[in-house]
Each structure stands twice: as structure tokens, then as C-alpha cells.
Structure 1
Amino acid sequence: MALEQLKSDVAEFAALLAEAKSARVKGVLTAGKAEAEREIVNLEIKARLAAERAAAGTGDAKRYLVELTDYGWDQSPKFVKLFITLDSVQSCSEDNVTVNYTENSLQLHVRDLKGKDYGLSVNNLLHAIDVEKSYRKIKTDMVAIYLKKANEGQNWDVLTSIQKRLKQKQDSEMVKDNDNPESALVNIMKKMYNDGDSKTKQMIAKAWTESQEKAKFGKEMGGMDTLGDV
């Protein structure tokens, strides 16, 4: 999607949010606005990286850029740690693995790994980081990024503010169902299913199927579609 169209979408989401009354509608609009903002940042970063590669020479400009999206993360009282799996990255020179930090974002760029470039962008970090004290390490098949917390001891329940908004939206929907235990149970199982790994999803699907069979003469609670995307 074109950058200008995305910016127009963000402006429209903001205008609709100002008029929205329902908590559910506000949640949907907030999620849509956050997603459009994320796409804008990613497009801008891609354009910047492409310009840098072109300026570096024809060899860099011709290499294919792979956008990384998967990573794990953890935290200690002082650091938030990201772990990006990348096969044979230890063969790269130190100069070819760079991370650009701002107070609330990071961009990893790995140059010329088996003839390709790799990039990872994480924007809208939940809390501020200390840019000067953040760093990265190259390990076997992995890049580890250490983000120094600006406020030591502060707990990050999620990594980004966008994830925080979406989590709050999910939680608010569950709260609204407190007066309907059956509906609340459905939402709890849905949240566990969507947040769980493949094994957890299999267990929940099995439990749901068995409960449906046992309650076939009771009140209908809905099919597996209620759990969202399988």
C-alpha cells in the first residue's frame, strides 16, 4: 500500500476515534490505526535502507533484502533482550551487523550474509531505552540485542505499545462478559488458544471437542469457529 494512502488511513482512523462512543468500536479503530502506523514506519525504514545500500555501491544495491519478523525476547531488571535466529550470522564481520537505536525503537541490519541483506525493525517500544548503553552480540546462528532500560527495574509485560493496546482491548472485551459466565469462558478459551503454542492449541481444541460431545443435549455453546483462526 502506498505511503500516502497509509497516512490518509491513519488520519481517518484518528477522526473516527474522536467520534466513537462504543468501547468495542474504539478498540477496533485503535488496532487499525496502530497497524497502519506500523506499516508506515516499515515502509520508511525500507526506503532508508534501500537508499543506504544504493549509496554504498552497486554490489550492496543488487543484493536482496530479507525482512525479518520472528524473534524471541526476555528481560532482566536492567535489560530487555531480543534474540534473532539467523543461520551462519557468525560468519559476518562485525561491521556488517549493525543496530540503530532510538529511545523507542531499533533497526537491525545484517549485510552480505550468503549474498543477502537482512533487516529487522521494532518500533513503538513499550518504554524508553538508554541508547548509549544498548548493544548487540553476534553468536552462533543468532544476533542478541540488549536494550538498556531507561528505568531499571521497570517490568515490561509486552515489548511494544501496539501490543499493549491490543492486549488491553482483549482484556476489556473479557471484562464486559463477566455477567455472562458462559460467554466469559468462551473468551478465556479463545484468548488461551490465540496466545498459545501449537501444543496448547491442540489441547484446547481437543478439550473443546470433548465438551461439545458431552453437552450435546445441553445449551449450544458454538463451534470451533468461536476460537478464531485455526
Structure 2
Amino acid sequence: MPVEQLKAEVAECIALLELAKTARVKGALTQAKAEAEREIINLEIKARLAAERKAGPETKRYLHELTDYGWDQSAKFVKLFITLPGVQNCAEEAVTVHYTENSMQLYVSDLNGKDFGLTVNNLLYAIDVEKSYRKLKTDMVAIYLKKVEEDKSWDVLTSIQKRLKQKQDSELSKDSENPEGALVNIMKKMYNSGDSKTKQMIAKAWTESQDKARFGMDSSSLGDL
């Protein structure tokens, strides 16, 4: 679908959201808007890559999807930290972040001959697109997502992680005699039913929870990732 048509759909969803009254209708419109925005981002990145390859040498670069990052928060911002050795040497225009109310997508062009991307969808709460920004630090990109609701604490980063934690708590309460087995079953169910981004997030959460367990930390901290 052409980008212009997708942008028209986003504008229509925004207009309809102002008229919507019920939570169900608002939820459907918000989801449709987010899906259209994700398609726009993907098409724009593909177009940019195609233009760069056409204008530059014939060397072919691939987009490396990033999955590892750290995050923290203050009263006003949720902060993401992505490690990329040498990124401070990139031109400012080579490191871009696209924000929507409930997602962010980082794109790094031609870092040591490679392109990198990180997408985080389904943020737990809304962010202020206009006041969100990023900084280049030594071997790191720091992304500052401005909270719409200041002073509101995020116990997890995304709504997917929230559902995972809720499922975990529910299943563990049902199977208190075998909490580890219940947790494994939860992870398997969500992994098998999720899309590629959800599977990446679950795999990352599971790996980190196992690492914590090796150091004597309780696996229930999985929900705080």
C-alpha cells in the first residue's frame, strides 16, 4: 500500500478518535492507527535503504535487528540505552528515531558498513512524540521517551510484558507447588501464539530471567524487565 494512502488512514483514524465515545471503538481505532504507522515506518526505511544503495557503491548492506537494550525511568521520561560500539562517530542524520504515541523505532545507517534497527511496539503508556528525543554517547544511543502522564511509574516497558507478568502471576497462583513449571508453560504459550517481535521480546525476557536465577535472584522478577 502506498505511503500516502497509509498517511491518509492515520489522519482518518485520528479524526475518528476525536469522535469515538466507547473504549472498544477507541481501542480498535488506536490499533488501526498503530498498524498503519508501523507500515509507514517500514516502507520509509526500505525506501531510504534503496536510495542509499542506488546512490552509493555497489556494496550491499543488511539491516541488523537489535534486541538487546536497557531501560530506566525518571518522573518525566522513560529512557532506553542501546549499546553500539563506535556510534558516536556517526553523522547526526545517520541516527534517527521515529516515534508514535505507543512505539519507537531506531535506525542507524552505515555504522562500520552495517545498518541497525530497533523497534519497540506497544509501549505500556502513551508518550509525547514532540518532546521525545535521542542522544549519541560513547558506544551508546540513549533514547528519552517523554511520558504523557508525568510521575506515573512504568513497572514494565510494554503492554506485552504486562500481559506476560499478569499471566505469570495467574498461573503461579494456580500452581503454587510447581511455580517454575507454570512459568515455562506460560512462556511457551505466549511464544507460540506471538508474532516475530513478541517472540523476540519473550526470548529476551526468558534469557535474562535465567541469568538472574544463576545469581540467586527470584524468577518472579521477570515482570520487571
- 202 and 186 in structure 1: CA distance in 2 versus 1, 3 angstrom threshold: farther
Name the aligned partner's letter for residue 78 of structure 2. V
The residue number in structure 1 matching 2:139 is 141
User: How far 1:197 moved relative to its partner?
Assistant: 5.2
- TM-score, length basis structure 1: 0.61
| Alpha-carbon distance in 2 for matches of 1:199, 1:185 | 14
| Alpha-carbon distance in 1 for matches of 2:154, 2:125 | 8
- Contact in 2 for aligned 1:104/1:127 (Cα 8 Å): yes
Is 1:51 the equivalent of 2:47?
yes
Which consecutive residues of structure 1, in runs of 5 or more, have no partner in the other structure? 1-39, 205-230
Which runs of structure 2 are paired with 1:208-227 in the superposition (5 Å)?
none
CA RMSD, 1 decimal: 3.3
Is 1:174 the equivalent of 2:187?
no
- Residue 77 (structure 1) aligned to one of 55, 75, 78: 75
Is 1:164 the equivalent of 2:168?
no
Larger Rg: 1
Is 1:201 the equivalent of 2:214?
yes
Which runs of structure 2 are paired with 1:39-118 in the superposition (5 Å)?
46-58=42-54, 59=56, 62-118=60-116
Count of residue pairs the alignment pairs up: 163
- 174 and 152 in structure 1: CA distance in 2 versus 1, 3 angstrom threshold: same
Name the aligned partner's letter for residue 51 of structure 1. A
User: What is the DSSP-based 3-state SS (H/G/I as helix, E as strand, rest coil) of the residue aligned with 2:123?
Assistant: coil
**Range 164-173 or range 79-88, more displaced:** 164-173
- Contact in 2 for aligned 1:108/1:120 (Cα 8 Å): yes
- Residue by residue over 1:185-216, the C-alpha shift from the partner in whole angstroms, topping out at 9 and shown as x without a partner, is 8658999x956353632648xxxxxxxxxxxx
- TM-score, length basis structure 2: 0.62
- Contact in 2 for aligned 1:54/1:60 (Cα 8 Å): no
**Range 193-202 or range 134-143, more displaced:** 193-202
- 175 and 41 in structure 1: CA distance in 2 versus 1, 3 angstrom threshold: farther
- Contact in 1 for aligned 2:88/2:137 (Cα 8 Å): yes
- Contact in 2 for aligned 1:134/1:148 (Cα 8 Å): yes
| Alpha-carbon distance in 2 for matches of 1:82, 1:184 | 31
Name the aligned partner's letter for residue 177 of structure 2. E
- Contact in 1 for aligned 2:171/2:183 (Cα 8 Å): no
